[in-house]
A and B are shown apart, each in its own frame.
Chain A
Amino acid sequence: MHTIKMMTILFVFVWVSAGQVSGVEAGVLLEDLENQLMCKCDDKCGKVLINCTCSTSDKTRAKFSKMLESGITVEQIVKMQVDKYGETVLSAPTKFGFNLTAWMTPFVALVAGGFGVRKVLLAWVCKKVKLILSMRLLLSQKFQKNIPNV
């Protein structure tokens, strides 16, 4: 039962967090592309293209804009960039293979932690209940001893 619960929560989390944004309007295609790729300037600035202000990033933006206008899709441009520079050009890990662990691990840890906290809390509550019950038992025994037999 716990495993099913855990899997359900995990699925919901991953679905909420890792799902693809749909319905992207044509006007924001370039922005979407800029978000997916890193700037590859000589200074190795380490910035996502959309955040970069260097001259290389301006040229790259202009190039991508023309490519999009010519009918090449965002996915195709991303693939071309990956072929040229490797996976390091992507601003986030892909969602398959080993890279999936990047996405899954935080949620697995969080859900496992959640169950751990729940277990600990229930144990602490049980401890208190047991203590109260044993106190009551002690008191009632003492009370009975003091009552004279009729």
Chain B
Amino acid sequence: MNDIGEFTLLLALATALYGCIAYVMSARGNRIDLYLSADKTPFIVWVCVTISSICLWKAFLTDDFSLQYVWAYSNRELDTFYKVSSFWGGQKGSLLFWTLLLSTYMLVVYFQNRNKNLRVVPYAMAVMLVIVVFFLFLINFSTNPFERIPLPPEDGRGLNPLLQNYWMVIHPPTLYLGYVGFTVPFAFAVAALISKDLDDGWIRMTRKWTLISWFFLCMGNLFGASWAYVELGWGGYWAWDPVENAAFMPLLIATAFLHSVMIQEKKDMMKVWNMSLILLTFAMTIFGTFITRSGLIQSVHTFDEATLGYYFLAFLFVIITACATLIIARLPLLKSTNELDSFFSRESSFLFNNLLLLGIAFATFWGTIFPIISEAVRDVKITVGPPFYNQVNVPIGLALLALIGIGPVIAWRRATLSNLKKNFLKPVLASLIAAIVLFPFIPLGNRAEIYTYVTFVLCAFVVTSIFTEFYKGTVSRMGLHEESVAGALTAMTWRNKRRYGGYIVHIGVVLIFAGIAGSQAYGTHTEKHLQLGESFEIRGYTIKYEKLVAIEATSIKTRIIAQLAVERDGNRYWTGHPEKEFYKGQNQPVSEVDVLSTWKEDLYMILADFREDESATIKVYVNPMVSWMWTGGWIIAFGTMISMWPDRLEQRRRLDRIRKQEQLFPSPAQE
């Protein structure tokens, strides 16, 4: 089976190589025979990569420790659930998983666009195949997951205990779905540049792909934060680690792209900008992979055998150089009319939104690479950690939050003074009321608290501006169609899915902002060493240490569980069971926290230490509003789903547009 896996990887590489050459030659030479031949390669590549992946999964599930990769990331005692996820637990498997997703995406694109736009699609397929070739080359010749051990050991080394968590089963695939997804708009953008077909066709063809990838990347980041929160046991969810940054940067740039692309669709402007943004987004996904696999920047997430950095750096260099050359060569064709009616318009607000999003992305990138710069310039190693990112990114983030509120209420093309007064009155009033109401209750003793106060006021501004939009639309529809409130609201949202779906996403973003602000500024924690029966108080909760239990969960895992009674106003409120897990052969035990999560706050418990006399050190955090962030994530998911839902009206408009084009430029047959 392992031989089959290895062979199919080689076959996939050869087919992909042939495919990209054949696609390019067919497009350049108008060779239909070559095109038909090339058109079979995405399917063959997908079949080969899928077979290879199945072989690796089978090796994990059957404990085949003759494979070095299976030995390094699995063992006999590992739960089947985690044996499946061990596939992407290390560098070799993660690259194969990336290739599997990429070839699957490529297959879907192939079926979606078969016999459509024969000027652009062959080049797009060729670009995707080039990327597949790069990954398959690495897998085949540098980091082969089917590498054998001459004398297979009895048992494996096992999966890192920190990765044995359900979020780690969901988080990497979600993130990869986002990372890999951006290959599709990137490929179509490059194809448009090569084929000189530079209208907004490539944007329309890839709009849903961009949204889907953005959604997965967003959820991947949130799932990663959830994993850090419940598994790392430090009471936080985001540490500005280089690899977290690497997942965050493409998300920011893609968000900028999603906004600015609307201006191109509406006004045929900013073609060069949009092209650059999508290329930069893709480059950032490769940069993220470079960070994880280079070992050049110290990170919690770096793979054990991070040896592929220079391949990715070279690939990144080739991508950036090729794309920049293509854009420069096509500049005359990318010229757009670029006219604006007024400085005060939604178009301008989108441009400033792009500036702020890229500002945060740049600050994050700068912080990530500054240790390398410092070492190169001064020969001094330094660390750039959370204090830097918090101090630099928070003010920019607040300006961005304000723009989320300004965007919906400022008119397209031209905002007059009366129009601004009318639209801004309610949101500004709401924020003023919020500022006055919150002032007596919120401490303003340090900068974090002041920022949080400003965040809450801005959240009130944004939410009011969005709800005003929903209110105005619903009322006008009720008047026109004599519908109920619910009916009008649903019909309005359904008929303008993209617009109102976007607003719902913004509400989710506001909740995330509020959650971050609340948890960062008003959290508290304490650490106590307790004997059995002792208790302590934290923010109205009485925590009583009741018992300590040791359980031999498996032959390699021992669980030490503390039982903590939580009382409020003299009544038993909840029972927490934080624990420490000891794995055979691992230096450090793993903390399994227990969290009582409510809308107001999280009571977060950690068993920090214990002794033979059954005394234990208990650490308790009270983190306000953390659940707001997770709720925000689900609202973003809901909003994105609405935005992406197929729109019959849009399809009809597209057909009308095609018909009009056909009337303007009739085909030879019609002539």
B343 and A102 contacting across the interface, CB-CB below 8 Å = no
B341 contact set on A, CB distance < 8 A: 125, 128
Please report the C-alpha to C-alpha distance between residue A121 and residue B72 in the assembled complex, in whole angstroms: 56
* Segment 328-377 of B: residues with Cβ below 8 Å from A: 338-343, 348, 351-352, 354-356, 358-359, 362-363, 366-367, 370, 374, 377
| Chain A nearest CB, measured from B570 CB (Å) | 27
Q: Within the complex, which residue of A89, A102, A127 is in contact with B339, where a contact is CB–CB below 8 Å? A: A127
Which residue of B339, B358, B445 has the most chain A CB atoms within 10 A of its CB atom? B339
On whether A38 and B385 interact (CB within 8 A), knowing A93-B370, A105-B366, the answer reads yes
| Chain B nearest CB, measured from A117 CB (Å) | 5
A21 and B447 contacting across the interface, CB-CB below 8 Å = yes
Asked if B381 lies at the interface with its beta carbon under 8 angstroms from chain A, I say yes
A148 contact set on B, CB distance < 8 A: none
B298 contact set on A, CB distance < 8 A: 44, 46
Asked if B325 lies at the interface with its beta carbon under 8 angstroms from chain A, I say no
B381 and A92 contacting across the interface, CB-CB below 8 Å = no
When C-beta atoms are compared, the residue in chain B nearest to A128 turns out to be B339
B383 contact set on A, CB distance < 8 A: 38, 87-92
Asked if A64 lies at the interface with its beta carbon under 8 angstroms from chain B, I say no
Asked if B281 lies at the interface with its beta carbon under 8 angstroms from chain A, I say no
On whether A50 and B366 interact (CB within 8 A), knowing A18-B391, A55-B588, the answer reads no
Which residue of A17, A52, A58, A127 has the most chain B CB atoms within 10 A of its CB atom? A17
| Chain B nearest CB, measured from A38 CB (Å) | 5
Asked if B299 lies at the interface with its beta carbon under 8 angstroms from chain A, I say yes
On whether A124 and B382 interact (CB within 8 A), knowing A48-B239, A54-B588, A113-B358, the answer reads no
How many residues of A are in contact with the other chain, CB < 8 A? 53
A88 and B381 contacting across the interface, CB-CB below 8 Å = yes
How many residues of B are in contact with the other chain, CB < 8 A? 56
Please report the C-alpha to C-alpha distance between residue A53 and residue B606 in the assembled complex, in whole angstroms: 10
* Segment 10-42 of A: residues with Cβ below 8 Å from B: 13, 16-19, 21-24, 35-36, 38
Q: Within the complex, which residue of A35, A44, A91, A93 is in contact with B374, where a contact is CB–CB below 8 Å? A: A93
Please report the C-alpha to C-alpha distance between residue A119 and residue B551 in the assembled complex, in whole angstroms: 68
Which of these binds chain A: B139-147, B197-205, B392-400, B639-647?
B392-400
Asked if A76 lies at the interface with its beta carbon under 8 angstroms from chain B, I say no
B300 and A125 contacting across the interface, CB-CB below 8 Å = no
Q: Within the complex, which residue of B355, B367, B374, B445 is in contact with A114, where a contact is CB–CB below 8 Å? A: B355
| Chain B nearest CB, measured from A139 CB (Å) | 18
Asked if A137 lies at the interface with its beta carbon under 8 angstroms from chain B, I say no
Please report the C-alpha to C-alpha distance between residue A92 and residue B387 in the assembled complex, in whole angstroms: 6
What is the 8 Å Cβ interface bit string for chain A, positions 81-119, against chain B (1 contact, 0 not)?
000001111111100001100110111011001100100
* Segment 509-531 of B: residues with Cβ below 8 Å from A: none
* Segment 407-451 of B: residues with Cβ below 8 Å from A: 445-448
Please report the C-alpha to C-alpha distance between residue A55 and residue B589 in the assembled complex, in whole angstroms: 9
On whether A121 and B343 interact (CB within 8 A), knowing A23-B446, A53-B232, A91-B387, the answer reads yes
On whether A98 and B392 interact (CB within 8 A), knowing A46-B299, A114-B355, the answer reads no
B392 and A17 contacting across the interface, CB-CB below 8 Å = yes
A8 contact set on B, CB distance < 8 A: none
A16 contact set on B, CB distance < 8 A: 395
A48 contact set on B, CB distance < 8 A: 239, 385-387
On whether A110 and B396 interact (CB within 8 A), knowing A48-B386, A55-B588, the answer reads yes
When C-beta atoms are compared, the residue in chain B nearest to A87 turns out to be B382
Q: Within the complex, which residue of B234, B391, B448 is in contact with A53, where a contact is CB–CB below 8 Å? A: B234
| Chain A nearest CB, measured from B89 CB (Å) | 18
A110 contact set on B, CB distance < 8 A: 355-356, 359, 362-363, 396
B381 and A117 contacting across the interface, CB-CB below 8 Å = no
| Chain B nearest CB, measured from A66 CB (Å) | 15
A120 and B382 contacting across the interface, CB-CB below 8 Å = no
On whether A43 and B587 interact (CB within 8 A), knowing A93-B384, A117-B352, the answer reads yes
B239 contact set on A, CB distance < 8 A: 47-48, 51
B351 and A120 contacting across the interface, CB-CB below 8 Å = yes
Please report the C-alpha to C-alpha distance between residue A145 and residue B629 in the assembled complex, in whole angstroms: 68
Q: Within the complex, which residue of B269, B343, B355, B395 is in contact with A13, where a contact is CB–CB below 8 Å? A: B395
Asked if A138 lies at the interface with its beta carbon under 8 angstroms from chain B, I say no
Asked if A122 lies at the interface with its beta carbon under 8 angstroms from chain B, I say yes
Asked if A72 lies at the interface with its beta carbon under 8 angstroms from chain B, I say no
Asked if A45 lies at the interface with its beta carbon under 8 angstroms from chain B, I say yes
Please report the C-alpha to C-alpha distance between residue A35 and residue B391 in the assembled complex, in whole angstroms: 13
Please report the C-alpha to C-alpha distance between residue A107 and residue B351 in the assembled complex, in whole angstroms: 17
Asked if A131 lies at the interface with its beta carbon under 8 angstroms from chain B, I say yes
* Segment 564-591 of B: residues with Cβ below 8 Å from A: 587-588, 591
On whether A125 and B386 interact (CB within 8 A), knowing A43-B587, A98-B374, the answer reads no
Q: Within the complex, which residue of B366, B378, B382 is in contact with A90, where a contact is CB–CB below 8 Å? A: B382
B300 and A106 contacting across the interface, CB-CB below 8 Å = no
User: Which 8 pairs between the two chains have the least Cβ-Cβ distance?
Assistant: A106-B363, A91-B385, A92-B387, A124-B340, A128-B339, A92-B388, A110-B359, A88-B381
Q: Which residues of B contact A (CB under 8 A)?
A: 232-234, 236, 239, 241, 269, 298-300, 338-343, 348, 351-352, 354-356, 358-359, 362-363, 366-367, 370, 374, 377-378, 380-388, 391-392, 394-396, 445-448, 587-588, 591, 606, 608-609
Q: List 25 A-B contacts (CB under 8 A).
A: A17-B391, A21-B446, A21-B448, A24-B446, A35-B387, A38-B383, A48-B386, A53-B233, A53-B608, A54-B588, A87-B383, A91-B385, A92-B384, A92-B387, A92-B388, A93-B384, A98-B374, A105-B366, A106-B363, A106-B366, A114-B352, A117-B354, A124-B269, A125-B339, A131-B339
Q: Which residues of A contact B (CB under 8 A)?
A: 13, 16-19, 21-24, 35-36, 38, 43-48, 50-55, 58, 86-93, 98-99, 102-103, 105-107, 109-110, 113-114, 117, 120-122, 124-125, 127-128, 131
